[in-house]
């Protein structure tokens, strides 16, 4: 996400070309990286927490994944518009035509992508409430969301905030597993 933000800052026209396309490809990769993160958070939040805990974790994951689908749709539309257009004005016309279809604007450009953030926050908040992560991590996610809503020029900052919040999640210990230590042997 930070790479996309940095590339976006170099593209003064925000229009078709190498910067537009490479930035959106980085963005697609960033969003795809959240799929295993969401699934891992769901597993950790649901483990041994009873039916209500599993339901909340499942709702957070489904919400985030639906949001990811919407964000991917938006990025793909942006990429196709960039490939089909010779200038920014031609892109605007393609976007106008796409958004003229009923439901596209809320599903792909406004409400749908917000589901991604809502789902992430549900899962992060559940993990913080379960004391599996620090309470500051959901706050870092909120700060990243706020940064992107203030200005897309703050995407590099938002990407770093998300990295800060999510990077250590891969080291979360599963409740029913213990990490191997240097003294443990495979036979024990």
- Residue 163 and residue 30: Cα distance in Å, rounded? 11
Kindly state the tokens that stand for 42: 């769901």
Q: Where are the alpha helices (DSSP H) in the chain?
A: 2-10, 18-46, 50-84, 88-99, 104, 111-129, 136-150, 155-166
Using 50, 70 and 90 to split pLDDT, how confident is the model at 171? low
Check residue 14 and give its pLDDT: 87
Q: Residue 69: which pLDDT band, with cuts at 50, 70 and 90? A: very high
What is the per-residue pLDDT across 112-161, written as a single tens digit (0 to 9) for each? 999 999 999 999 999 999 999 999 999 999 999 999 999 999 999 999 99
φ, ψ of residue 174 to 5 degrees: the values are -65, 140
Report how far residue 149's alpha carbon sits from residue 167's, in angstroms, rounded to the nearest whole number. Answer: 22
Structure tokens at 40: 């891992």
Alpha helices in 100-170 (DSSP H): 104, 111-129, 136-150, 155-166
Asked whether the beta carbons of 137 and 128 are under 8 A apart, the reply is yes
Angle, in degrees to the nearest 10, between helices 2-10 and 155-166: 170
Q: What's the pTM value of the predicted model, to 2 decimals?
A: 0.86
Q: What is the DSSP letter of 188?
A: -
Compute the average pLDDT of residues 102-115.
96
Residue 162 has pLDDT above 60, yes or no: yes
Name residues whose C-beta falls within 8 Å of residue 152's C-beta, 6 or more positions apart in sequence. 5, 8
For 17: left if phi > 0, alpha if psi spans -120 to 50, otherwise beta; the answer is left
- Residues 32-49 have pLDDT tens digits of 999 999 999 999 999 877
Residues in the chain: 188
The pLDDT > 90 percentage for the chain reads 82
pLDDT, position 49:
79
């Amino acid at each position: 996400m930070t790479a996309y933000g940095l590339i976006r800052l170099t593209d003064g026209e925000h229009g078709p070309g190498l910067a537009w396309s490479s930035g959106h490809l980085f963005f697609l990769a960033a969003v795809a990286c959240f799929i295993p993160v969401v699934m891992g958070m769901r597993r950790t939040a649901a483990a041994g927490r009873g039916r209500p805990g599993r339901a909340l974790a499942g709702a957070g994951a489904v919400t985030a994944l639906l949001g990811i689908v919407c964000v991917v749709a938006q990025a793909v539309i942006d990429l196709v518009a960039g490939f089909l257009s010779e200038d920014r004005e031609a892109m605007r016309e393609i976007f106008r035509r796409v958004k003229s279809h009923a439901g596209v604007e809320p599903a792909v450009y406004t409400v749908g992508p917000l589901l991604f953030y809502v789902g992430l926050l549900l899962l992060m908040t559940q993990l913080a409430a379960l004391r599996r992560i620090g309470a500051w991590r959901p706050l870092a996610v909120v700060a990243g969301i706020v940064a992107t809503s203030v200005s897309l020029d703050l995407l590099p900052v938002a990407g770093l905030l998300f990295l800060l919040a999510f990077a250590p999640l891969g080291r979360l210990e599963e409740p029913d597993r213990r990490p191997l230590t240097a003294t443990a042997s495979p036979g024990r």
